[in-house]
Each structure stands twice: as structure tokens, then as C-alpha cells.
């Protein structure tokens, strides 16, 4: 899942980025309204963490502009020190899906992120299965025939994205867009190496051939039940 953090407090923005990446999310960061809208125009985001007080505009305006842009719409979690009922109502009316008042604890932020992503049950459901492989996004666990499988955060994110799109041919660019962030170099072998490591771990756990190579394009997770 790809997340955009829009926050003008540099230390907080970077801390959120680090914490979310550790949880397996692909994270981009913008420090103002202009940067947020520029990133939104070129990358598909599943979730936007949006501060209301930005140096060059208001987060409410950014949220409204995102909603007017059309196309696939991300979930929006407002982050702000404004805690009045009027502010919360305005944020929700402008298109926010949830509202978190600063200061907040990071575990609560993670819980709200998971809850928002679960709302789209067909696209971002928490538990997905492919044959003997079961992935629980809320618990951050993967099991094969009931036995735990240890994966890195990026391997976990890659497997989850592929399991959410069984049988689909996924291009390398598509995987970079949804599993990695804007700093990923499209000319490196990052995706190939991560897929290779994931295949090896699945094979060692008794699942072989579930991830197919689509020559000249990308990869496909076998649709199994």
C-alpha cells in the first residue's frame, strides 16, 4: 500500500515516514500543499495523511482538490492540532475519511490507517489467502499451512499486493508504484531481487511456482483457492 504524508513539520513528517515504512508501507512525503498536489498527480496513493496547517495553503483545500481530480481516490486521514467540533466537521465535509488530533500516539495512527484501508473490503481486505498461504495485514503475519513465514517488510508488502490481485499480470512499474516509494530507481533490479527472495522463502516453506514470471512484462501470482 502506498501512502502520502503531507506535513510541514519536517521532524514529524520524517518520523511518520520511517515508522510507516517499518510497517511495510511505501511512503512519500510532501511538506506543503504544492508538493502534495504534484505527487498526487503522478502517483496512485491508497492513503493520504494530511496536515491541515500548511505553509502555502490549507489542508482542507488540498483535500477538496484531490477529490475533484477524479480517478481512483485514496483514503484521507486529517492530522491537525485543531480540535474543535467545527474543524472536525469541516474536514469530514471536505472529503476526509477520518480525523486525528495532535499530539497522537503512533500506535493509534497505525490502527486508524489499518481501519481506513480495511474499508475497501474488495481492494484492501485485511486477510487474504492463496492456497496454503494466509496473510493477515492487521496482525502483520504470513503463514503457510499454519506455520509462520518470516518476511521482510518489503517482501510482506509485495506478497500482499500480489495476493490482492491474483491471476493478474502485474508490470514491474506497477509494483514499483504500489509497493515502493518515489525514491525507488526504476532502472535497478529491486523488484526482481525482492521477488526472487520471496519465491525462495515460499519454496522453502513448501510452496513452489506460485509466482510466475511474465516474460518482458512482470509477474503474476497464480490464482489458487
Task: Give me the phi and psi of 154, to 5 degrees please.
Answer: -75, -35
pLDDT winner (highest mean) among 114-123, 132-141, 199-208: 199-208
What is the fold, at CATH topology level, of the domain defined by 2-121? Rossmann fold (3.40.50)
* Dist CA 24 CA 140 (whole Å): 9
- Pairing status of strand 98-101 against strand 75-80: parallel
CA gap 144, 202 in Å, rounded = 8
Indicate the pTM of the whole model: 0.63
Could you give phi then psi for residue 28, rounded to 5 degrees? -110, 155
Q: What is the pLDDT of residue 196?
A: 95
pLDDT, position 6: 96
Fold of 126-221: Arc Repressor Mutant, subunit A (1.10.10)
pLDDT band for position 119 (cuts 50, 70, 90): low
Torsion of CA 175, 180, 181, 182, to 10 degrees: -60
Domain ranges of the chain: 2-121, 126-221
Using one digit for the tens of pLDDT, what is the confidence trace for 147-159?
A: 999 999 889 989 9
Alpha helix stretches (DSSP H) within 139-189: 153-163, 172-179
Task: Please say if the pLDDT value at position 122 is more than 70.
Answer: no
For the chain, give the mean pLDDT: 86
State the pLDDT at residue 225. 61
Strand order in the sheet with 75-80: 26-30, 2-6, 47-51, 75-80, 98-101
Q: Give the pLDDT score at 83.
A: 72
Q: Convert the pLDDT of each residue in 130-143 to its tens digit.
A: 889 999 876 788 99
Do the beta carbons of residue 88 and residue 99 sit within 8 Å?
Answer: yes
Going by pLDDT thresholds of 50, 70 and 90, the confidence category of residue 121 is very low
Amino acid at each position: 500500500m502506498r501512502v502520502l504524508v503531507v506535513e510541514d513539520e519536517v521532524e514529524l513528517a520524517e518520523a511518520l515516514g520511517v515508522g510507516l515504512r517499518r510497517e511495510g508501507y511505501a511512503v512519500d512525503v510532501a511538506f506543503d500543499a504544492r508538493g502534495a498536489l504534484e505527487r498526487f498527480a503522478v502517483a496512485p496513493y491508497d492513503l493520504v495523511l494530511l496536515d491541515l496547517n500548511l505553509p502555502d495553503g490549507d489542508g482542507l483545500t488540498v483535500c477538496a482538490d484531490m477529490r475533484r481530480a477524479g480517478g481512483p481516490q485514496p483514503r484521507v486521514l486529517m492530522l491537525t492540532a485543531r480540535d474543535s467540533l467545527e474543524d472536525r466537521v469541516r474536514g469530514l465535509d471536505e472529503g476526509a475519511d477520518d480525523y486525528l488530533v495532535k499530539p497522537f500516539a503512533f500506535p493509534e495512527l497505525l490502527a486508524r490507517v489499518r481501519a481506513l484501508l480495511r474499508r475497501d473490503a474488495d481492494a484492501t481486505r485485511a486477510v487474504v489467502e492463496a492456497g496454503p498461504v494466509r496473510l493477515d495485514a492487521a496482525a502483520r503475519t504470513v503463514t503457510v499451512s499454519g506455520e509462520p513465514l518470516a518476511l521482510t517488510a518489503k517482501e510482506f508488502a509485495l506478497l500482499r499486493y500480489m495476493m490482492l490481485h491474483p491471476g493478474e499480470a502485474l508490470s514491474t512499474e506497477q509494483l514499483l508504484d504500489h509497493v515502493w516509494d518515489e525514491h525507488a530507481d526504476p532502472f535497478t533490479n529491486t523488484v526482481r531481487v525482492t521477488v526472487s527472495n520471496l519465491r525462495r522463502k515460499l519454496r522453502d516453506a513448501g510452496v513452489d511456482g506460485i509466482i510466475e514470471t511474465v516474460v518482458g512484462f512482470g509477474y503474476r501470482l497464480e490464482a489458487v483457492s
